[in-house]
Structure 1
Amino acid sequence: MSAAVTSYDKIVCPSLGDSIPSALPHAISVSLPTWKDNVGYEEGERRVIDAMCTGYPRFFVHKSIQKLSAICEAKFGLQNEQCMLFPKAYIANRCRDFMIARSIEPSTPLAVRLVQWIIHADETSSSIGHEIELHIVLFPSDAYPIAKQFWQHAGLGISSRMAVACLSVLEEQGEISRPKSPAMSTSPPRTCFPSRNRHYGSKATPSFGKVAATTQAQSVAQARDEDWNDQGSYLEERYGRNLPTSAAMLAKRTLRRRIAGVLAHEEDSSPNGGDELRPSTRGVEGVTEEDVYLFPTGMAAIWSAHQLCLASLPPAKSVCFGFTYTDTLKILQKWGPGCYFFGNGDEADVDALEALLSSSESPKILALLCEFPSNPLLRSANLGRLRNLADRYDFPLVIDETVGNFVNVEILPFADILVSSLSKVFSGETNVMGGSLILNPKGKHYPTLKAKFEETYEDSYWYEDAIYMERNSRNFVKRVWIINRNTEAVCDFLHSYSRLATPNPVIKNVYYPKWESRQNYDVCRLPLPEGEKGGNFGGLFSITFTSEEAAHAFFDTLPCAKGPSLGTNFTLACPYTILAHFTELDWAAEYGVEKSLVRVSVGLEDRECLLAWFGLALKAAEEAGKSKTASS
């Protein structure tokens, strides 16, 4: 993206199944514009599934990856085998280990095979000009849901741009022919998992080597996909100029410096080999780019932080503090000895944790992981008390700063490991994934963690993704301040109609750091720059309603983009609990994450435009609430 902040006032809400924004080849969000569409997605309705041209990459296997997987299955697979593709050997090995450990019959472990395919590109290749290392995990088709768990939780599968590069080389070398439509695959579909748990499940799929019957909806989606090849380059470059692909290492170095806070001119900076450096603004002396590690996704950074602790420290249970994003908890539960879950993340939970640690059993803790603030309830943990416990009982703190982001809050002084999803507001463009991990050089565990990471870390971040991430993040700081102001204005408006401010409201609660555990947030909140008005409470909030009917009406009427992800340059909403906890709604409700919760990530639109949108949605919710009252 160029230095100028783009106006999103006139953004058109995409239709069901379209990428967000529309026709973006590597989009990381998909349009699910109504509450019914989101439920239909979770339940595997063909109406919804067949319309989808893309989805969030850890849940939806991009069509370019589908196509490359089908080629790998045909070239290396046995009958009734499917595969997953990874960029490094160690990841493929961890996938195999994960699958074998979950064999239904321990006495007969799953037959999981690994293949390395080096795809050699000619020096004159128009794609990349070097070889591509592809690691293929082959397994029986009925074990696909297990493989999908690893893909989702670890976040280390190949990116769609890497798949496109592989396909481009193979096409240039005549190993494959260009199909009429990239949507058609010769292997069972991987795009969705329409059982009760769509994240892992899979209903009956066509037998290997046969193409699924094409419905009218699929035909429409395929025709739309054919247009992507022509539009893709234009859309990907529409906001600014990328570095040449040969400058990937330069882009990665600039990203690491930007994340470390050592670039003297963060806003509008671009890598030219001569960036002026300064002491880090992270609040910890001595932080450099050498303490920053890049990953293909934010979840990969979290998974890797947990793996680093498991490899560096004595085995023990972890602590998941607060109601974190769903895959974070799953990682702590499925790798290592398990975890203790303190799902409210409040002062009472700190008391309970302290009581556990000081009990007669005095269990050893591997590490504690929390978000600041949490997603979706925007609660801020008491990091001072947690830091005190970590020092007293000798375990590292791993903190996810994705929602807070380092423009608004200073977290590193409390953390041993700081992780973040760069896919969110750091990028803003919904066209690339990425993650980062910072080791605190002043942390007690730094020497041990640093030595192990230097021994084991392998850079698996695809070079093109790094180039797009670098471009997108050049005006990160400028965008954050606009989003901060917009979000506070919207939240103040909605809060004035909540049960805390008005009798008989349709809005139950507005969850936002300005009102949720404010004293804990303020401890880490950075001062406002000179001349900046408003607060720095971030761009995310959640809202609950006095009836499900009101929630549905609010969401359906809100005229913004609707789909998974957050931190986008445009306003993006989703019925969070439906998407993240559809099979465990009662469990989520125990921790205050209600079924009808709507999560909103506010963008760069004109403030008056945003207020008009939310006023329209509020009016619809009030009418639905009145109808509910009248009928009961």
Structure 2
Amino acid sequence: MSTATVTVQEQIALGAAVPALTAHAISVSLPTWEDNVGYEEGDKRVVDTMVSGYPRFFINLRIRKLASICEQKFGVNGEQAMLFPSRKIAEMCRTFMLDRASQQGSEVPVRLVQFLISPENASASTASSAELHIVLFPADAFPLAKQFWQHAGLGISSRLAEHCLSMLPDESKPTSPTVSATVLTKRAGSNRHYAKKSASSPPTEISEELSADHVTYLEERYGRNLPVAAANFAKRAMRRRIAGVLVHDAPSDWSQAGEHDAAVGPSTRGVKEVSEDDVFLYSTGMAAIWSAHQLALNTRPLAKSVCFGFPYTDTLKILEKWGPGCHFFGHGLDKDVDDLEALLEREREQRPDAPPVLALFTEFPSNPLLRCADLPRLRALADKYDFLLVVDETIGNFVNVEVLPYADIVVSSLTKVFSGDANVMGGSLVLNPKGRHYAMLKHHLAQTYQDTYFGEDAIYMERNSRDFRRRAGIIDANTEAVYNFLQAHPEIVKTVFYPRCTTAAHYAKCRLPDGGFGGLFSVTFHDIRASKAFFDALPFPKGPSLGTSFTLACPYTILGHYLELDWAAGYGVEEGLVRVSVGTEDHAVLMRGFGDALAAAREATQA
């Protein structure tokens, strides 16, 4: 069960894990504005302290250690490695690297190695073997491999790496595991995030207060987690939770949620026919988005996609780097729908026998401007011009909004508010059974979907999500209170981006009767000095990610678009924008913390 933070936390040290002292934390503390700038500029003061980070950008230390072992065992001539959970994903990484290198007019040799690790004692508690698929490449091709890792979100998790490391020999273990490897070779013809240091020579490993055996005992003995062997049970419970079909779904009866004979009924997602079989789980939210795009590419006539609204950065990169590209409507306002309709009509005139676009991707609301598209109008265009409508509901979440009736596919990052604890990654893809292309999409997924979501990650995600609805309600109420407070100070605050006031009419079309406005807002100030002072003075954790049970802030534009600040500003995403994900803290604690931060912003402006 998630535990609400009830006091203002002491500032977490630069580079330390967020949440603090969490073995598989998915964020990192960047407590000042200058720390964030230093991170983007590769300042050793910042990057050398980091023991954690968002997993698609910062390769976890356990994964680096395992990759280093694989490089020593299988690499030649200084090759580096990326690790994936299936051969299919490794092959897609290789294809991406070869294609991107070819576009740059160069060739890169890429090799694949299959590495099966099994403990020598088959009766041990860690007896399940692990299969790694290793992509090996020259060191100077690391940025290409990192692009695939970041955009697709399909790399192995830190828990899978930990599991593999536990079976590999070290000085303290008298026995050796059984290992086998198969090598596959093929040869063929920037963003700063892609050029991070390699997976070799990882920093010192994170220390933990409890051994793995102790953690497992506590989790299983006291019912916080399912036994590791029950991963499929956990996944079924989550799929039912996401499908909205569980008649009883509360922390007190969670153990029944994954049973074959659990009480299920019509979906509460706005399309009563939705079932758990329409929900597909992925290792990250970005993997769900990437997979939705691949699904469109493999089932529909080839055409450009549409990115509607200013999205989280990697969504746009996926649409640009796979397939024939995309049309970008970065403001996501009603005028953009007019422009989109004009584009669709022009494309239809030029290609009367094929849909003018492949699919339209939009967030509801968007990140970080919290704008919502007119989904009923987009649905009408999708029906008229025969393209897929893909909606990312991560920020709105299905406690607050009902977007499935308008979409062919709904994707979400379970890493965020669905989990809340910031200690595990996950994503979901939901098909709308009432969609005109449902049968085709469902058939293709039935033939091609690979469940590579590591069982232990699923177990943690299931545990975290049991009180998802309760937490979401608290977060919604807290966020609205903070919004009201900031809105009352226009002399300092320039704009608060929040669904209650940003494209409010479009949000209202999908808002549930008891739904709130979510837990995310962004704020800008009249002076960037006020932005910096406000951020630095916030007495809450600061780092990437959102949807956490604790309040978490970041200077979003600095972290997401540092090398393209002018471009982002052209779409209304200012350099001084601060994004805040509000948590479940006590109301008085929150207001005191934001009051102190606003006072610092006022002082900076007056100075």
Shorter-chain TM-score bucket reads over 0.9
Match of 2:517 in 1: 537
Query: 1:611 and 1:174, CA in 2 relative to 1: closer, same or farther beyond 3 A?
Result: same
Could you tell me which of 417, 420, 428 is aligned with 1:425? 417
Identify the match of residue 310 of structure 1 among 289, 294, 297. 297
Indicate which of 202, 206, 226 corresponds to 1:225: 206
Q: Please show how residues 542-553 of structure 1 align to structure 2 within 5 Å.
A: 542-553=522-533
In 2, are the aligned partners of 1:267 and 1:476 still within 8 Å (CA)? no
- 2:8–2:539: 8 Å Cα contact kept in structure 1? no
Q: Compared with structure 1, are the counterparts of its residues 105 and 302 closer, same or farther at alpha carbon in structure 2 (3 Å cutoff)? A: closer
2:80 counterpart SS class: strand
What residue number does 2:182 align with?
A: none
Contact 1:267 1:478 in 2 (8 A): no
CA contact (8 A) 1:250 1:271 kept: no
In the other structure, the counterpart of 1:242 is 225
Name the SS for the 2:160 alignment partner: helix
Q: Does structure 1 residue 565 correspond to structure 2 residue 539?
A: no
Cα-Cα RMSD: 2.1
Alignment match, 2:511? 525
Amino acid at match of 1:291: D
| 1:482 aligned partner | 474
Q: Spell out, residue by residue over 1:447-468, the C-alpha distance to the aligned partner (whole angstroms, 9 max, x if none).
A: 1111111111000100000000
Would you say 1:404 and 2:387 are equivalent positions?
no
Q: Write out per-residue CA displacement over residues 312-365 of structure 1, whole angstroms, 9 at most, x where no aligned residue.
A: 111100000000100000000000000000000010000000011112436711
* Structure 2 unaligned blocks of 5 or more: 178-189
1:595 is aligned to 2:575: yes
In 1, Cα distance between the equivalents of 2:51 and 2:214?
A: 18
CA contact 1:248–1:467 (8 Å) conserved in 2: yes
Where structure 1 has 5 or more consecutive residues not aligned to the other structure, the ranges are 177-195, 213-217, 499-504, 529-534, 628-632
- Tell me which of 165, 186, 194 is aligned to 1:200: 194
Report how far residue 102 of structure 1 moved. Answer: 1.4
Between 357-366 and 157-166, the greater mean CA deviation after superposition: 357-366
Matches within 5 A, 1:27-426: 27-103=25-101, 109-122=107-120, 124=122, 126=124, 128-171=126-169, 174-175=175-176, 197-202=191-196, 222=204, 225-227=206-208, 230=211, 234=215, 241-268=224-251, 269-272=253-256, 273=259, 274-359=261-346, 360-361=349-350, 364-426=356-418
Q: 1:514 aligns with which of 487, 493, 500?
A: 500
Q: Which residue is equivalent to 2:564? A: 584
Aligned mates of 2:397, 2:217 — CA distance in 1: 25
**Partner Cα distance (2:412, 2:49) in 1:** 31
Contact 1:20 1:28 (8 Å CA) reproduced: yes
In structure 2, distance between residues paired with 1:88 and 1:75: 19
2:108 match: secondary structure: coil
Distance of 1:12 and 1:341 partners within structure 2: 42
Tell me, yes or no, if the aligned pair for 2:5 and 2:549 is still in contact at 8 Å: no
Change (3 A) 1:486 1:107: closer
Separation in structure 1 between the aligned mates of residue 217 and residue 40 of structure 2, nearest angstrom: 30
**Matched residue, 2:460:** 468
After superposition, give the CA deviation of every residue in 1:213-237 in whole Å (9 maximum; x if it has no partner). Answer: xxxxx7xxx4x82345659965996
Supply the distance in 2 between the matched residues of 1:165 and 1:136 (Cα, whole angstroms). 16
- Which residue identity is paired with 1:591? Y
Aligned to 1:180: none
Q: Structure 1-normalised TM-score?
A: 0.89
Task: Give, as a single letter, the amino acid of the residue that structure 2 aligns with 1:263.
Answer: L
Counterpart position of 1:604: 584
Contact 2:120/2:176 (<8 A) preserved: no
Q: Which stretch shifts more, 234-243 or 148-157?
A: 234-243
- Match of 2:207, as an amino acid? E
Inter-partner Cα distance in structure 2 for 1:229 and 1:166: 19
Contact 2:159 2:457 in 1 (8 A): yes
With over 3 angstroms needed to count, the CA separation of the structure-2 counterparts of 1:174 and 1:197, relative to structure 1, is: farther
Deviation at 1:6, TM superposition (A): 3.2
Q: How far apart are 1:122 and its partner, in Å?
A: 4.5
Q: 1:613 to 1:354 in 2, by over 3 A?
A: same
**What is the rounded CA distance, in whole Å, between the counterparts of 2:95 and 2:287 in structure 1?**
17
Structure 2 contact 547–582 (Cα < 8 Å) conserved: yes
1:443 counterpart SS class: coil
Q: Percent identity of the aligned residues?
A: 59
Deviates more, 1:103-112 or 1:51-60: 103-112
Q: CA deviation at 1:9?
A: 2.3
Q: Distance in 1 between matches of 2:315 and 2:125?
A: 35
Residues 1:237 and 1:372: Cα distance change in structure 2 (over 3 Å) = farther
Q: Which stretch shifts more, 15-24 or 267-276?
A: 267-276
Q: Which amino acid aligns with 2:282?
A: F
Give the drift of 1:201: 2.0
Question: Quick one: distance in 2 between partners of 1:571 and 1:107?
Answer: 46
- SS of aligned partner of 2:116: strand
2:1 is equivalent to residue 14 of structure 1: no
Which residue of structure 2 lines up, in the alignment, with residue 181 of structure 1? none
Output the amino acid matched with 1:118.
L
Measured in 2, the distance between the counterparts of 1:468 and 1:564 equals 20
- Which position in structure 2 is the counterpart of 1:531? none
1:127 shift after superposition: 5.2
Q: Tell me the secondary structure at the aligned position of residue 426 of structure 1.
A: coil
What is the identity, as a one-letter code, of the residue corresponding to 2:421? E
Contact 1:25-1:232 at 8 Å conserved across structures: no
Aligned AA (1:283): G
Q: TM-score, normalised to structure 2's length?
A: 0.92
Using a 3 Å threshold, how does the CA distance of structure 1 residues 8 and 434 change in structure 2: closer, same or farther? Answer: farther
Deviations 1:509-544 (A, max 9, x none): 00000000000000000012xxxxxx6000000000
Tell me the amino acid that sits aligned with residue 361 of structure 1: Q
Structure-2 separation of matches of 1:66 and 1:125: 29
Question: Comparing 14-23 with 135-144, which one deviates more in the overlay?
Answer: 14-23
Per the alignment, residue 447 of structure 1 pairs with 439
Aligned partners of 1:571, 1:124: CA distance in 2, in Å? 44
**CA distance in structure 2 between the partners assigned to 1:108 and 1:38 by the alignment:** 34
How many residue pairs are counted as aligned between the two chains?
Answer: 581
Deviations along 1:258-283, one digit per CA (max 9) or x if unpaired, are 00000112332413324321210000
Q: In the superposition, relative to structure 1, how do residues 56 and 107 fare at CA in structure 2: closer, same or farther (>3 Å)? A: closer
Contact 2:8 2:589 in 1 (8 A): no
Residues of 1 paired with 2:143 and 2:52: CA distance?
19
